[in-house]
Amino acid sequence: GDAWIEPYVNAGIEVVVLAEWAAKRTQRFFPGHAGLAMASWVHDWLAEHHFDVIVLMDWQGHGFYALEAKRTGLRFQHSLFVTQLHSPSLWHALNNAELVTDPLQSITYHMERMSVEHADAVLSPSAYMLDWVTRHGFHPPPRSAVLPNLIDLPAGATPRRRMRRPVRELVFFGRLEYRKGLAQFCD
């Protein structure tokens, strides 16, 4: 459903569901690669609007065509593109010890790499992730910085420094994936 949209609308933020927007447009064919189609929709939607700053995620490379258009001088020359590092698909594959079986996955890897390299600036939630992309052959722009994810605490709350009672139960809150530390948790 659209229940997730309501809080944004109530806060005065316009929400555009790109798949719905694209369904009303002329469709292009992309050979079995949803990421290429989404990157095309992102480019086309942005081309109809103007923004001073455009923030994109690295994952899936949805900003690929828009960033290429700016890099080649076709459009978006007056917009600043910021790519938010989250976790490239290559990071997922390597840290989950996954064997890639779909050759089209290399397209996603390339789109994500270019989303980092062709951005005007890159923000990473951790020094680890910024270092990881650099060690794995990505070339982030000089305007790259670490900006940790913000955590909302209830009014008046302060983080606890130590436990005040014995721990009786441990709960694993995360995807059931190797890279999320599931093996270490079970050990």
Closest CA to 59 of 89, 83, 102, 37: 89
State how far the Cα of 58 lies from the Cα of 60, in Å rounded to an integer: 6
Tell me the C-alpha to C-alpha distance, in Å, between residue 133 and each of 64, 139, 184. 17, 8, 24
Closest CA to 117 of 136, 100, 103, 102: 136
Q: Name the helix (H) or strand (E) containing 20.
A: helix 18-23
State how far the Cα of 163 lies from the Cα of 141, in Å rounded to an integer: 42
pLDDT (tens digit per residue) in 78-130: 999 999 998 899 998 888 888 888 888 899 999 999 999 999 999 999 999 99
pLDDT given at position 162: 62
State how far the Cα of 136 lies from the Cα of 126, in Å rounded to an integer: 16
pLDDT (tens digit per residue) in 41-60: 999 999 999 999 999 999 99
Q: Name the helix (H) or strand (E) containing 10.
A: helix 6-10
